[in-house]
Amino acid sequence: MKEFNVTGTCIPDKHYMVDISNKLAQIEKLVEKGRYFTINRPRQYGKTTTIYLLGRRLTKRGYLVISISFEGMSSKVFNSEESFIKSFLREIKRNLKFKKEIDLLKVLDNDEIENIGELSYLLTDLILESNKKIVLMIDEVDKSSNNQLFLDFLGMLRNKFLMAQRGEDYTFHSIILAGVYDVKNLKLKLRPDDEQKYNSPWNIAVEFDVEMSFNSVEIATMLEEYQEDQNIKLNVEEIAQKIYYYTSGHPYLVSKLAKTVDESLKEQNWMEANLIKAIKILLNEQNTNFKSLIKNIENDNDLYQLIYKIIMDGERITYNLDNPIIQLGELYGILKNNNGIVKVHNRIYEQRIYNYMSSKIETNLNKISYNFRENFIRADGYLYFKKILKKFQLFIKEQYSDKDQEFLERNGRLIFLAFIKPIINGKGFDFKEVQTSQEKRLDVVITYLDKKYIVELKIWRGEKYHQEGLIQLVDYLDKQSVEKGYLISFNFNKNKEYKEEMVKKNGKEIFAIWV
């Protein structure tokens, strides 16, 4: 029986997989043209699986594929040319032995290779002896990318490529490197005094612009396979669109979300409510993907501050490829270019980061007793949401004086979320969505039992923007198929009023408060 896989290489015979044949065809065209390139994508983005499936495809096409990974090599291997060369050749021999290329194995039967130059000559002999075009694929190149020996190795391959172009040498038909970093633009730490410099021994490589994330049509192919295997009926197209909505097609998150619905919830009904339950489970677990996500943010204060502005403050940041902070965020798979605006890559990441950043700040907030949770639950079990907002308004009025205004302006929305969390805990779930506009809106979609409560939080900018905001909220309510909405305006004028208002607009009912 197949299963959804989120660890290691996905195998078609063992795992439910997205059909990536279109992506493989695009990569195969690069190989056919004899291109050298790097598949540089964030961790757990399907690079290893892509290389595996590509290798199978190319082998069927008559190529001799040599596929190795630096991940399996000891770090000591990169301490000397001799040790690196021995390990590198051992991996090539393993490939050739598995493919029963006995004649080629004999070419490599040489233990006297001691430096990169001699390795170059040996590789020439290997390629001359082969009656097939050889494709070299190296996974996890990041492991050695801050090592001068690695640069020398790339430099040798580059030199062979250039000489072969002139008809003066023989080399691999195509070389594919896979890792997080784009090797040709890699910033390398090479000297004892930690001086940073750029090196480009891989400037022969072409740009790799194949989209590695999954679109909803591709996600549907995985669900169709699951549906047939399980002998059930799913609304595949709708579910695929919802999975894409929350994951933006991130390969790990797509598979992880599907796996959670299937195994943790043990559900064969994949309606959105169950997807949200699965997201809630996912957001409350620790895994290597989330650990890496948070670690990368924590390790760079500039990146932390940029993401804070986007998620917590709702700021609109213009995308610029030359900005090194934005580049870094993209490199780690945290940020993306969304129509010229920098956004967090997907809604699950946005929620996880929001939870993490808010947790760091919540310890500094004034505390409030939550022994009154039952006061906000109606007789039918649903939330008395107007009452919650009125209580929040009173809480802000009592707890925050004028001297707290700067803190409140920066953290007011967070305070609301911290306020409501104990009320909805257990039966509810809140999901944030930043709306990039002049008002820096933040829409909070709260699900409690089977109902949705949509709250827009924004800073008061005057009546004109308020009316425009109401129209935007009505549109958002339409998209979410909800009839009632709620609005919290944070007013920092000295003569502000703590007031409330019931607004009816375009058939929707909106309860608004000012704090």
DSSP string for 166-194:
TTS----SEEEEEESS-GGG-EEE-STT-
Neighbours of 131 (CB within 10 A): 8
Residue 302 token pair? 């500039």
* Measured distance CA(293)–CA(380) in Å, rounded: 40
Query: What pLDDT does 184 receive?
Result: 60
How many angstroms from the chain centroid is the CA of residue 409?
Answer: 30
Query: What pLDDT does 195 receive?
Result: 43
283-286, long-range: CB < 8 A, 24+ apart: 283/348, 283/351, 283/352, 283/355
* Measured distance CA(26)–CA(303) in Å, rounded: 33
The continuous run of DSSP H or E covering 401 comes out as: none
Query: What pLDDT does 420 receive?
Result: 83
Ramachandran region, residue 46 (left: φ > 0; alpha: ψ -120 to 50; beta: rest):
left
Residue 93 token pair? 């021999």
Termini Cα distance of the chain = 56
Neighbours of 47 (CB within 10 A): 21
pTM: 0.82
* Measured distance CA(431)–CA(110) in Å, rounded: 61
DSSP string for 57-74:
HHHHTT-EEEEEEGGGS-
500-505 and 508-514: which strand pairing? antiparallel
DSSP string for 368-379:
---TTGGGGB-T
Residue in 335, 331, 326 with CA at minimum distance from that of residue 353: 335
Distance set, CA 157 to CA 55, 145, 201, 312 (Å): 20, 15, 9, 46
On whether the CB atoms of residues 435 and 467 are closer than 8 A, the answer is no
CB neighbours of 481 closer than 8 A, spacing ≥ 6?
Answer: none
Query: What pLDDT does 347 receive?
Result: 92
Query: What pLDDT does 373 receive?
Result: 73
Query: What pLDDT does 434 receive?
Result: 54
Per-residue pLDDT of the chain (515 residues; tens, 9 = 90+): 899 999 889 999 999 999 999 999 999 999 999 999 999 899 899 999 999 999 999 999 999 999 999 887 877 888 888 889 999 999 999 999 999 999 999 999 876 788 999 999 999 999 999 999 999 999 988 776 557 788 889 889 999 999 999 999 999 999 999 988 766 655 444 344 444 444 467 888 898 999 999 999 999 999 999 999 999 999 999 999 999 999 999 999 999 999 999 998 887 788 888 898 899 899 989 999 999 999 999 999 999 999 998 887 778 899 998 999 999 999 999 999 999 999 999 999 998 998 888 777 766 655 555 556 778 888 888 899 999 999 999 888 887 766 566 777 777 777 888 788 878 876 766 776 655 444 456 678 888 888 889 998 888 888 888 888 888 889 888 888 889 999 998 888 877 788 999 999 888 999 999 98
Query: What pLDDT does 367 receive?
Result: 54
Quick: pLDDT tens for 91-111: 999 999 999 999 999 999 876
How many angstroms from the chain centroid is the CA of residue 346?
Answer: 7
Residue in 494, 497, 502 with CA at minimum distance from that of residue 515: 497
Query: What pLDDT does 368 receive?
Result: 53
451-459 and 441-448: which strand pairing? antiparallel
Query: What pLDDT does 328 receive?
Result: 93
Residue in 248, 360, 347 with CA at minimum distance from that of residue 304: 360
Residue in 66, 63, 65, 59 with CA at minimum distance from that of residue 89: 66
On whether the CB atoms of residues 385 and 453 are closer than 8 A, the answer is yes
**Which amino acid appears at position 21 of this protein?**
S
Query: What pLDDT does 193 receive?
Result: 45
Quick: pLDDT tens for 155-165: 899 999 999 99
